[in-house]
């Protein structure tokens, strides 16, 4: 088998083993967001008979992808593209998004997620309402509600990591789980 075929073979095995339902690597434009969402919505094999759970996963995918799309302001051509994965584990679905952010954003994101992870569901709901009632729409069109929404729909702690890329940017990886 030539190297290229071997590579495809490995990808196939990995994706099959890890039960990857949907994957994407590239720029996350609004058109790509729409295409990925359509693909998930119209896929009859994924959560066909679990309407509530499918909607819940859908909502998290929307917020994750819109977050990447809205904040993909770093246009350094030398940086690798964003990544998005939807997969299944024994007791949950997982959504992983990875995109490059400025190193100056790392602290704010860390503080926000740690704060949310330290809250119970009722406190997150209260905070969501507070931001909804008092927050303003940002210049990028965000309402500042996305991460609270993700946490509420997930019902699990949010997992994240930053991989230092260079002196200005890092890869920000977010993993969100939804129980089956």
Partner 1 sequence: MNPFIIEQSEFSPSIIFDPSNSKFEITGESRPENAGKFYESVIKWLDQYYDDILSKKELSSTEKIYFDIKLEYFNSTSAKYILDLLKVLDNYYKNGHLAKINWHFDALDEDMKDSGEQFSKLVKVPFAFIQQ
Of 156, 38, 39, residue with least CA distance to 89? 156
How many other C-beta atoms lie within 10 A of the C-beta of residue 54?
17
Residue closer to partner 1 by CB (options 10, 126) is 126
Which of 8, 11, 129, 180 contacts partner 1 by CB under 8 A? 129
- Taking the least distance from each CB to partner 1, the nearer of 5 and 137 is 137
Residue of 21, 46, 149, 170 interacting with partner 1 (CB under 8 A): 149
Stretch in the footprint of partner 1 (CB under 8 A) among 15-23, 104-112, 139-147, 167-175: 139-147
Site for partner 1 in 34-93 (CB under 8 A): 34, 37-38, 51-52, 55-56, 58-59, 62-63, 66
The residues binding partner 1 (CB under 8 A) are: 30, 34, 37-38, 51-52, 55-56, 58-59, 62-63, 66, 125, 128-129, 132-133, 135, 137, 141-143, 145-146, 148-149, 153
């Amino acid at each position: 088998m030539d190297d290229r075929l071997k590579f495809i073979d490995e990808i196939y095995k990995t994706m099959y083993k890890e039960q990857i339902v949907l994957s994407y690597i590239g720029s996350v434009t609004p058109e790509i967001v729409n295409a990925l969402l359509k693909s998930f919505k119209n896929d009859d094999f994924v959560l066909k008979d679990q309407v509530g759970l499918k909607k819940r996963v859908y909502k998290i995918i929307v917020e994750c992808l819109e977050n990447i799309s809205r904040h993909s302001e770093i246009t350094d051509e030398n940086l690798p593209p964003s990544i998005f994965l939807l997969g299944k584990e024994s007791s949950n679905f997982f959504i992983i998004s990875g995109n490059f952010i400025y190193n100056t954003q790392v602290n704010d994101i860390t503080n926000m997620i740690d704060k949310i992870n330290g809250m119970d569901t009722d406190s997150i709901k209260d905070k969501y309402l507070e931001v909804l009632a008092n927050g303003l729409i940002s210049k990028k069109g965000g309402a500042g509600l996305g991460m609270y929404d993700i946490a509420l729909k997930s019902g699990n702690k949010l997992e994240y990591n930053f991989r230092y890329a260079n002196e200005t940017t890092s890869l920000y990886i977010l993993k969100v789980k939804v129980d089956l």
